[in-house]
Amino acid sequence: ADFAPNDLETLQVLGHGNGGTVYKVRHKHTSVVYALKVVHSDSDPMIRRQVRREMDILRRTDSPYVVRCHGFFEKPSGDVAIVMEYMDVGTLDTLLKKNGTFSEAQLAVVARQVLNGLSYLHAHKIVHRDIKPSNLLVNQKMEVKIGDFGVSKMMCRTLDACNSYVGTCAYMSPERFDPDTYGGNYNGYSGDIWSLGLTLFELYVGHFPFLPAGQRPDWATLMCAICFGDPPTLPGQASLEFRSFIDCCLKKESSERWSASQLLSHPFLSKKSGNC
């Protein structure tokens, strides 16, 4: 809150997202390094609305499993910026590309942290709606935190808005495409669990689950695979615990999917941890 844009010195660009850019910045007086997400005033009004929503949600979250937010500002030019905790290793997506696939022990460590984050968010009536490797951030302490609340939703608002097509389609659950068939008691929270299941699956096999390695699908093919196909199954060498854990996340019928707090007591999470 007490950051002035002039207190921050830009070090480098960390990434570009939808309409915004994330910079690595340093506070001139304290030398503390932060990540600064800037959405420019000339960007799409929808994107600007999203960044305001993200600010709203980050303001309310206080969890070691959610990327911390240290302040906001709006420049006179109309640019909106969020000062966040800097996650110095990057995202799970960059780790996958750099180091290759994750072991089950590493994934158990990842899963426990993301589930702690999701259980915190869901208890606070926040649905993330865009859980995927590139939105899970990692630091040197091997802490994994949920980031990027650009399309998240506070459930205290209308349920209906939760059904709209936001988020990255590939990781969207069957009920997001087809609520009548897979909706059960659709509440949005279980969509995050589906996305977590796909994310862990991808980190294990090295490519997006519904597709052979290297294939980039069109949206319709993917939607058909998600809605009409069976949930993907792990390759033969996966342990029974991991298989069962993924099954609990990837139940097509959303009401059968386990909740974040149920999954936190799944036997897969007690696997002995290796180095992440």
Strands (E), the chain: 8-16, 20-27, 33-39, 69-74, 80-85, 90-91, 126-127, 136-138, 144-146, 153-154
From candidates 14, 142, 205, 225, binder to ligand ATP by CB under 6 A: 14
Choose among 255, 256, 251: nearest CA to 230.
251
User: Of 143 and 247, which has the nearer Cβ to ligand ATP?
Assistant: 143
Q: Cβ closer to ligand ATP: 199 or 254?
A: 199
Q: Catalytic annotation on 130? A: yes
Cβ–Cβ under 8 Å, residues 52 and 80: yes
> Could you tell which of ligand ATP, Mg ion, none binds residue 67, using a CB distance below 5 to 8 A set by kind?
ligand ATP
Q: Which of 161, 124, 154 is nearest to 53 (CA)?
A: 154
Q: In what order do the strands lie in the sheet with 90-91?
A: 90-91, 136-138, 144-146
Picked from ligand ATP, Mg ion, none, the partner binding residue 22 (CB below 5 to 8 A depending on kind) is ligand ATP
Asked if residue 37 belongs to a known ligand binding site, the reply is yes
Phi, psi of 179 (to 5 degrees): -60, -30
Q: End-to-end alpha-carbon separation of the chain, Å?
A: 34
* Residue 54 touching Mg ion (CB under 5 A): no
Report if residue 18 touches ligand ATP, rule: CB under 6 A. yes
- Which residue of 137, 146, 196, 223 would you call a contact of ligand ATP, by CB under 6 A? 137
Closer CB to Mg ion, residue 131 or residue 260?
131
The residue sitting closest to ligand ATP, measured at its beta carbon, is 17
Site for ligand ATP in 78-97 (CB under 6 A): 84-87, 90-91
- Tell me if 91 contacts Mg ion by CB under 5 A: no
User: Does residue number 163 form part of the binding site for ligand ATP (CB under 6 A)?
Assistant: no
- Identify whether the C-beta of residue 147 lies closer than 8 Å to the C-beta of residue 84: yes
Q: What's the rounded Cα separation, in Å, for the pair 14 and 36? A: 9
Structure tokens given for 103: 């072991």
Angle at 20 between CA 14 and CA 26, to 5 degrees: 45
Query: Could you tell me which stretch among 3-11, 104-112, 143-151, 172-180 binds Mg ion (CB under 5 A)?
Result: 143-151
Considering only 35, 57, 114, 263, the residue that binds ligand ATP (CB under 6 A) is 35
Helix (H) or strand (E) holding 47: helix 45-60
Active-site pick, 130, 148, 180, 218: 130
Binding of ligand ATP by 135 (CB under 6 A): yes
Q: Which listed residue (54, 148, 175, 202) binds Mg ion by CB under 5 A?
A: 148
The three-class DSSP label of residue 238 is: coil
Task: Pick out the residues of the known binding site for ATP.
Answer: 37
* Residues lying near Mg ion in the complex (CB under 5 A): 135, 148
* Residues lying near ligand ATP in the complex (CB under 6 A): 14-15, 17-18, 20, 22, 35, 37, 67, 84-87, 90-91, 134-135, 137, 147-148, 150
Task: Pick out the residues of the known binding site.
Answer: 37
Query: Which are the catalytic amino acids?
Result: 130
